[in-house]
Every structure is written in structure tokens, then in C-alpha cells.
Chains A and B, each alone.
Chain A
């Protein structure tokens, strides 16, 4: 088994997949805690469907670098969703549900109307579940992913105290002069970036898992914000690593194997939390 692994490691695309996978897992887990605590868990899901729709458009328009289209569209929708307007006619969860199924239907329709390859259902499946795309990353993709992941992580570390303040109590933060709207905007943008990145790894249907599970695992056993954040980051990276390795050895799809690892970890953490009371 180890020999197989070492043999696979000699391929550059496998190494790329590992690096990118672990980096994406790191950034998606960082903001997961904030999203879960702000009751925004579903936003990741909604946005991933938007990204799916955007990707369909980019494919039709035949863009060589599809990020140029997908990233801005997803960011715009992230900002729209996170802007908690008091005077919106449609409530938050309904808006997200509406947007996500709408984008999904639109994207699928577009892909069928203007097929870019002979195998439409294969394309759709890849986009939704991210099956093989992680193994087809180019060197440029790895660099883009790496740089964005590092930017997100550094941003998170430096703004950690403010993100905590805004997450725990928006009204208090606002009252003492913290620019809450600015940070919400930033959080929305970063989430959009992470989702577009993570689409390569697990596909658009499974992204939420990457955002939510590490945070929930950490929250069920730990009791302060710093340790929750660190634990979810580390556990998310380990799950991604384990998931990718298993998928290589057992030939399972990458995305769902990573998510399965996250689910198992959550179950363990939840049990430990329960036993300890």
C-alpha cells in the first residue's frame, strides 16, 4: 500500500492535488466557525450553486480562465446575501433557497442548451461533485490556489480580533465604532473566494460540508474561540489529507471521500462532547 502511495506521489498532479486540497481545507474551515455562529451555514450552499451557474456561463462563453467570470459573480451574490437589509421583502433563508435552486436549474439548462463537450451529464457530474478535476490541475491553478489561500489565512490572522467581535456581537461592535458593515463585506468576499476555490476540490454540492463540519466538530468539544478556530483548521487539513490519500488508494471520488472523513470526525467529536457532558 505504501509502495502504491509512493508511486503515486511521483506524479506531479498528485502532489498538486494534495497541496491545493490541504490549503483549501484550511481556508474553508477558518471562516466556517464565523458562518456557523452567525447562523449563515446555508450561505455556503447557496453560493456554491451560484458558482455552478456562473461556471456554466463561463463554459458557454468559452473562457480559457473561467475564474474571471465565476469569482466576480459569486462575490456579488455573497455580498447581496450577507447584507442583512431590514427592509428586504424576502427573508434570508428563503432568499438563499430561491437563489440556490434557481442558479442550479439555470446552470444545468445552459449546459444542455450549449453543450461544450459530447458528455453533458459527465460535465455536470464533475461540476457538482468535483470528481476528477482536482487531478487535472495545472501549475498555474496550484499557484493561484496557493496565493489565495495564503492571503485568506493572513487576513484571518490579522483580523482575528475584529472577526471575533463582529461574530459575537454585531450591535456592540457597531456601538463602539467598529466598522461592522465593512467586515461583513470582507467576510462575504472571502467566503465567495473560498467557495470558488473549493469547487475544484469537492465540487459545488459538497462545499458546505468543508465549511461547516470542521467548525461543528470543534464546537462540540472545545470551549473557547481560539481553540475552536485552531482545532477546526487543523482537523480540516488532516481530513482533506486523509480523504485525498484514501481516494487515491481506493479509487473513490476525491470530494466525497474528504467529506466522509469530515463526517466521521464530527461523529467522534460529537460523541466525546456528549460523554463529557
Chain B
């Protein structure tokens, strides 16, 4: 059964559709890539999947026990984050905010979870370092660790290798592959078709509007 399916979906702004007739199903354990050139509407589609904006028409359905707020999200970095005074641990821990519920403070378990995800991403030594002092690749690992705190099932990555040099890009892809091997459903937005086709199990091309395997 699909964890996420788009049916006759149209996405865009203010009822102006940028992309129409989107149909796909993502199954548990998939490495699903959404590809297309810049300006093709990938980001709009992704924001709609995350519920950051309304669909123009059609629907997105979650199934197989996946809730809408249980997708870990790796966004592209914003300018404001570049000089943000926060330690790696603080940022990763903030990934637990969706399991905070009605409580105000993070529990011991949540702190443990944050720590274990930091270890998983191989950035344990950077735990107390300031986010703004890290390299691009290290920052991506921090944000990935945060995304992992928010989910057990699926993560959505928005251009995870944008601005990274080739070696670090390779490492990043390997890291994501590893997560997928461990059973995590991966949904990735990318314009790097050459690399993506090496790893993805299924690819949705927004221009062609269909899924290839």
C-alpha cells in the first residue's frame, strides 16, 4: 500500500496551476525522486506535499500509517540560517518538535534520539559546535539529523546536494542510500538527473508527468 499518493493533483499559486495532472504513488521503502529543471514547479509540488500550501485541485493522500506531520524534511538553507547562533545539538533536537505534543520541554528520550541521530550522521564531534561555523556538507548532515528526529518512516529532501563539492556530494548520496537501506522511505527533489538515476528506485519527471523505474 502507498504511503503517499497524488491523485489528479494540480499545484500552483493563487489557483494558477503551475503543474497539472500529477499522479504517482510512493510505497514504503521507495527511493523516489522528483526531477525537473529549475522553475519547473518541483518546489511548489514539494511544498504542497508538505502542506505548506494548498493544492489547486486534486488530492494528496497519506496511507500505511504515515501521518502528514511525520515526514522529516530537509529544506534548502535560508539566508537567515547562515549566521544563526545555535549549536548542532540544539538544531537537531528541534527536529523532535512534532513529538513534543502538549509538553513544553524535551524529554530525556528525545534528547537521546537527537544524540543517536547525530551519531548516525557521523557528526558527533561537532555536537557543541556552532552551526554557522560548519562547512556546507556538515550543515547538511546537521539538517538531515534533524529531519530524522521528526520521522521514523519517510524523509523529503529538497536539493540535498545543492552547492556541495563533488566529494561531499558523493558522501551525501551514500548517506541517503544508507538510510534507504535501513528502511527509510526517501522522497527527493533534484535536478541532478545523472546522479539521481544511479540511486533512485523510481523517478518522477515533472515535465513528462510520469514515473519511470
Query: Which residues of A are in contact with B by a Cβ distance under 8 Å?
Result: 37-39, 86-87, 158-162, 164-165, 168-169, 171-178, 218-219, 222-226, 228
Report chain B residues within 8 Å CB of A172: 73, 75, 95, 146-147, 150
A interface majority secondary structure: helix
Complex contact A224–B90 (CB within 8 A):
yes
- Which A-chain residue is minimally distant from B128 (CB atoms)? A224
**Which residues of chain B are within 8 angstroms of A224 by Cβ–Cβ distance?**
85-87, 90, 128, 130
State whether B52 touches A174 (Cβ < 8 A): yes
Please measure, in the bound complex, the distance between the C-alpha atom of A168 and the C-alpha atom of B77, giving whole angstroms.
10
Are B90 and A173 neighbours in the complex by a CB distance under 8 Å? no
Nearest A-chain residue to B147, judged by Cβ: A172
A175 touches B100 (CB 8 A): no
Assembly CA distance A87 to B51 (angstroms): 18
Q: How many angstroms between the C-alpha atoms of A219 and B50 in the bound complex?
A: 32
B75 pairs with A169, CB closer than 8 A: yes
- CB of A169 within 8 A of CB of B81, answer yes
Contact assessment for A174 and B97 in the assembled complex, using a CB-CB cutoff below 8 Å: no
Partner of A225, one of B87, B95, B100: B87
| Cα distance A171–B147 in the bound complex, in angstroms | 12
Q: Check: B69 CB closer than 8 A to any chain A CB.
A: yes
- B47-103 interface with A by 8 A CB criterion: 50-52, 68-73, 75, 78, 80-81, 83-87, 90-91, 94-95, 97-98, 100
CB–CB A38/B69 < 8 A: no
Contacts of A87 in B (CB 8 A): 14
Nearest CB of A to B18, in Å: 14
Known: A222-B85, A224-B86, A225-B85. A178 touches B75 (CB 8 A): no
Question: In the complex the two chains form, what is the Cα distance from A37 to B131 in whole Å?
Answer: 14
**Contact call A161/B94, Cβ cutoff below 8 A:** yes
Complex Cα spacing A161 to B99, Å: 12
Chain A residues in 8 Å Cβ range of B86: 164, 168, 224-225
Query: B81 contacts A175, CB within 8 Å?
Result: no
Chain B residues whose C-beta falls within 8 Å of the C-beta of A168 in the assembled complex:
81, 84, 86, 91, 94
Chain A hits for B78, CB < 8 A = 169, 171
* A226 partner residues in chain B, CB cutoff 8 A: 90
Contact with A along B126-157 (1 / 0, CB 8 A): 00111001000000000000110010000010
A37 touches B71 (CB 8 A): no
A38 neighbours in B (Cβ, 8 Å): 80
Residues of chain A within 8 A (CB-CB) of B73 are 171-172, 175-176
**Inter-chain contact A171/B100, CB cutoff 8 Å:** no
